[in-house]
Structure 1
Amino acid sequence: MRLIVEKFKGIFPAFYACYDEEGNISESRTKQFANYLVSKGIQGLYVGGSSGECIYQNLEERKLTLRYVAEAVGHQITLIAHVGAPSTRDSIELAKYAEQLGYDALSAIPPIYFVLPEDSIYHYWTDILESTNLPFIIYNIPQTTGYNLSIQLLNRMLQHGKVIGVKNSSMPVMDIERFKTASSNNLILFNGPDEQFVAGRLMGADSGIGGTYAVMVELFLKANEFISSGDIARAQQIQSDINSIIIALCSLNGSMYSAIKEVLKKNNMDIGSVRKPLQPVTGEDLQKIDEIKAMIDQAIAKY
């Protein structure tokens, strides 16, 4: 277990969808962006999740992103494939494909749209993890799925030896402690909400997976460094700056991911726009992108 934990410790940006000018998955932009993030010193990538706009893509598009990332950086860092989909059949197809590509682990949200009993969620996750030899990471994000992982279901899932962790994106940091305690500290816990990265780590999270990491990787790497060295005061300071940036990214009329992609363009990293129904940042809001970029640059320079 120790070797597995070490492999999954650190900062794991949630990978963004990379489109060409026509809105199709771009091989060159996907690979360029993956290499860009690796050059920043990250420990791994979480590919195909919410930040990757997975629910707005078909299976073939999701496979393309998984393949392009693996081809670009698969031998350099730890790769986690998010394979959650509305149907078990599609999730298994993605899981098997990720295994073929050499991914290190699978992850999945619960099924969405229909309100399912816990027994159905149990069988959904079980069907996925039994379809490959890869370890599995439960993804708990109740604010979008409507289901909050219970200790009862967690304990039931832990009977499968391949369940190694939980990516917890619920807002109460107490959930991280409860999941850790329920597993007798034998789970790898990933903090999900970027706004509480420091709190999540202090409450017992081993690592972090986040949707804003990739636009300000340096800040999360430094926050993690402060926590590891015991400099909690500076970790709290950097979290405050991170939160101010996140609030600014969410203050525009367009999608937060559109705002992030506009900031990345300012850093000479063009990965396209967002897919509808997500809305791009337009008009006067575009003028605020320079201000947000300046906030990020100033925070990076500070630390």
Structure 2
Amino acid sequence: MGLDKFKGIFPAFYACYDDAGEVSEERTKDLCTHLLEKGVNGLYVGGSSGECIYQSLDERKATLRYVAECLEGKLTLIAHVGAPSTRDSVILAKYAEELGYDALSAIPPIYFTLPERSIYTYWSEIMDAAELPFIIYNIPQTTGYSLSMNLFKKLLKNEKVIGLKNSSMPVMDIERFKAAAGENFIVFNGPDEQFVSGRLIGADSGIGGTYAVMPELLLAADKAVTSGSFDEARKIQKEINDIIIALCSLNGSMYSAIKEVLKLKGVNIGSVRGPLEPVSGEDLHKIAAIKILIDRSIEKYAN
């Protein structure tokens, strides 16, 4: 299959709530439209940025449906279907296929420490549930499991495995996975703070949790890397990292800070769901300064 549609900038889609904290169809579609207009290449729907582990199965299905209704055929859509149980993951995989998603993805099982044969079976059962390509998700800092090369090579024998979202912090991991899989395989850089270095060492694309609050900068960084303007790319990465540090410096969840910035940009998608904490108190007054930091960076590098 052609893999070009999986190349580029893929914001990890945020959970969109109404003022009562329920998943909102209107606000989900507002964020879809906003990102479509920014020119991103696709979306990664239902992952950690979508607060998936804090949502019910029905809520996750609703978000998948709202995004598909708004964007099917307009952007490449990847459905993250990882869940605490294989049963729920399979249900989400089948539903994403019905909705017309382009690919599936899933974190490894969480909470219990499992042997690799269990992780292999979990991912395999998700792939067996739908006739869609599959993108492995390696994020050891939150799942407690670091994808081994042995399991990776075993998974590559399944023709449905077409990509890997690698969010481990060593950039070398991207190079090793890309070298093992070959050119006919998509590696997505995971850590936003190392997007440029990840691309230079072998990543074809990027999926990230901060992309949707500053898509213009990630698109500009990707363009700079592709065109060989590496000094420009490094400067943009520095701006991106300054913004990420600012977003993480407040007394609430980074996603809450992002959502407050988006409100100032005219995109209200509510707040975050507990146990994630909203930004509050004096730190709310710092949101406007972060928006200005983003706007100035966009003006400098993306216009």
TM bracket (short chain): over 0.9
> In the TM superposition, what whole-angstrom CA distance separates every residue of 1:24-81 from its partner, at most 9, and x where no partner exists?
0000000111011000001000000000000000100000000000000112010000
> In the TM superposition, what whole-angstrom CA distance separates every residue of 1:99-140 from its partner, at most 9, and x where no partner exists?
000000000000000000111000000000011100000000
1:41 aligns with 2:39: yes
Question: Hey, what's the Cα distance between the residues in 2 that align with 1:132 and 1:265?
Answer: 37
Q: 1:93 aligns with which of 82, 91, 94?
A: 91
Post-superposition shift, 1:186? 2.9
| Counterpart in the other structure of 1:66 | 64
Structure 2: give runs of 5+ residues left out of the alignment. none
TM superposition score normalised by structure 2 = 0.99
Q: 1:224 aligns with which of 217, 222, 225?
A: 222
Work out whether residues 195 and 243 of structure 1, in 8 Å CA contact, stay in contact via their aligned partners in 2. Answer: yes
> In the TM superposition, what whole-angstrom CA distance separates every residue of 1:201-253 from its partner, at most 9, and x where no partner exists?
00110000000000000000000000111000000000000000000000001
1:234 aligns with 2:193: no
| Counterpart in the other structure of 1:185 | 183
Kindly report the root-mean-square deviation, in angstroms, between the aligned alpha carbons of the 2 structures: 0.6
| Counterpart in the other structure of 2:127 | 129
Work out whether residues 180 and 186 of structure 1, in 8 Å CA contact, stay in contact via their aligned partners in 2. Answer: no
Q: What does residue range 134-173 of structure 1 map to in structure 2 within 5 Å?
A: 134-173=132-171
Question: Hey, what's the Cα distance between the residues in 1 that align with 2:228 and 2:180?
Answer: 26
Report the AA paired with residue 231 of structure 1: S
| Counterpart in the other structure of 1:286 | 284
SS in 2 for 1:296: helix
Question: Hey, what's the Cα distance between the residues in 1 that align with 2:229 and 2:50?
Answer: 33
Question: Hey, what's the Cα distance between the residues in 2 that align with 1:190 and 1:77?
Answer: 17
Question: Hey, what's the Cα distance between the residues in 1 that align with 2:30 and 2:299?
Answer: 24
Work out whether residues 18 and 25 of structure 1, in 8 Å CA contact, stay in contact via their aligned partners in 2. Answer: yes
Question: Hey, what's the Cα distance between the residues in 2 that align with 1:204 and 1:179?
Answer: 9
| Counterpart in the other structure of 1:114 | 112
List, as ranges, runs of 4+ consecutive aligned residues in structure 1 with deviation greater than 2 Å.
none
Report the AA paired with residue 26 of structure 1: S
Question: Hey, what's the Cα distance between the residues in 1 that align with 2:296 and 2:30?
Answer: 25
Report the AA paired with residue 136 of structure 2: I
> In the TM superposition, what whole-angstrom CA distance separates every residue of 1:9-34 from its partner, at most 9, and x where no partner exists?
00000000000011000000001110
Q: 1:29 aligns with which of 27, 36, 41?
A: 27
| Counterpart in the other structure of 2:257 | 259
Question: Hey, what's the Cα distance between the residues in 2 that align with 1:9 and 1:112?
Answer: 28
Report the AA paired with residue 186 of structure 2: I
SS in 2 for 1:284: helix
Question: Hey, what's the Cα distance between the residues in 2 that align with 1:65 and 1:270?
Answer: 16
| Counterpart in the other structure of 1:273 | 271
Moved more, 179-188 or 129-138: 179-188
Q: What does residue range 180-219 of structure 1 map to in structure 2 within 5 Å?
A: 180-219=178-217
| Counterpart in the other structure of 2:77 | 79
Question: Hey, what's the Cα distance between the residues in 1 that align with 2:5 and 2:283?
Answer: 40
Question: Hey, what's the Cα distance between the residues in 2 that align with 1:264 and 1:94?
Answer: 28
Question: Hey, what's the Cα distance between the residues in 1 that align with 2:190 and 2:59?
Answer: 25
User: For this pair of structures, how many residues does the alignment match?
Assistant: 301
Question: Hey, what's the Cα distance between the residues in 2 that align with 1:183 and 1:276?
Answer: 39
SS in 2 for 1:138: strand
SS in 1 for 2:299: helix
Work out whether residues 249 and 292 of structure 1, in 8 Å CA contact, stay in contact via their aligned partners in 2. Answer: yes
Post-superposition shift, 1:162? 0.3
SS in 2 for 1:125: helix
| Percent identical residues | 70
Report the AA paired with residue 49 of structure 2: S
Post-superposition shift, 1:184? 2.6
Work out whether residues 108 and 125 of structure 1, in 8 Å CA contact, stay in contact via their aligned partners in 2. Answer: yes
